[in-house]
Amino acid sequence: MNHADIQQRLVRAHHGDVAVRLQGNPKHPAVVMTHSILSSAAMWDEQAALLAGQGWYVVRVDATGHGDSPAPKAEAVTMDGLAADTVAVLDALDIARAHYVGLSLGAMSGFGLGIGHGARLLSLVLCDGRADAPPAVAAPWDERIAIAEQRGTCAPLAAPTIERWFGKPFVMANTGIAERFEAIAARTSIKGFVGCARAIQGLDYLADLAGIATPMTLIVGSNDGVLPEAMRDLQQRIAGSVLETIAEAGHLPNVDQPAAFNAALLRHFERVRK
């Protein structure tokens, strides 16, 4: 497979089938990438091409009910279940161990992956996420869930979400990027969104973080609300972890500051190769 070629397939996982995008040489070490709620594997397009071009086998996963993944069949979506979805992808592709890159929702389930499935991991890059959901974090999801369920679509959540991720100045200056991400958010299935939002509300990995032995880099955008402070706390709880802060970046630093993010990502792989 040419590193520029992308193959797609469905994999039977914990919550139902999930869509994966495969790029690069399957004989080489694998990097699994997962995304934020109301997004899809498409948010990693630039980084997937970069890593595949450097010889990695890149496996991007659409979370249950997001992107090309069907709505979840499980009664409830959980963080442990999202981690199990990732393990199911590894099993389906005969990948014994992989590097893992997750952002936001993907970072949250990534903590669960590190806690419960460390034997399947070579390293972790967890971006703009946290390991707990105190009331101030959990409460706003009730209103967002209500809006989606009452309107019968995630479309009303799209523009406010993208503005929250990137900030109004970036959205106004980069209308093409904003419109692309709004379209991805709008087509997210209600069941997928609600399930993953409830999983976020139940996030509770903080007490178990010290048990993660997998080499880890934490990355956060400097403008991403309270997350820089939260991720500094996480870095102090996880022995050997490294924290990278991306200046002038919001919730998706890989999109609004790609050069700085890519440099941090490559520093991680250089560090774990040693």
| pLDDT, tens digit (0-9, with 9 covering 90-100), for 150-196 | 999 999 999 999 999 999 999 999 999 999 999 999 999 999 999 99
Gyration radius from the chain CA atoms = 17
Read off the pLDDT of each residue in 138-158 and give the average, rounded to a whole number: 97
Question: pLDDT tier at 95 (50, 70, 90 boundaries)?
Answer: very high
Closest-CA residue to 224 (of 63, 104, 121): 104
**Is residue 15 predicted with pLDDT exceeding 60?**
yes
Question: pLDDT tier at 230 (50, 70, 90 boundaries)?
Answer: very high
* Tens digit of each residue's pLDDT (9 = 90 or more) over 23-39: 999 999 999 999 999 99
More confident residue, 3 or 243: 243
Domain residue spans of the chain? 6-131+206-273
* Helix intervals (H) in the chain: 45-53, 79-92, 105-116, 135-138, 140-151, 155-166, 168-173, 175-186, 190-201, 227-237, 253-256, 258-273
Read off the pLDDT of each residue in 224-239 and give the average, rounded to a whole number: 97
Confidence at residue 134, expressed as pLDDT on a 0 to 100 scale = 96
CB 141 within 8 Å of CB 104:
no
Confidence at residue 75, expressed as pLDDT on a 0 to 100 scale = 81
* Orientation of helix 258-273 relative to helix 45-53, angle to 10°: 40
Confidence at residue 274, expressed as pLDDT on a 0 to 100 scale = 64
Confidence at residue 273, expressed as pLDDT on a 0 to 100 scale = 85
Superfamily classification of domain 6-131+206-273: Alpha/Beta hydrolase fold, catalytic domain (3.40.50.1820)
Confidence at residue 2, expressed as pLDDT on a 0 to 100 scale = 55
**Is residue 19 predicted with pLDDT exceeding 70?**
yes
CB-facing half-sphere around the CA of 247: CA atoms within 13 A: 0
What is Dmax (Cα atoms) for the chain?
Answer: 52
Query: What average pLDDT does the chain have?
Result: 96
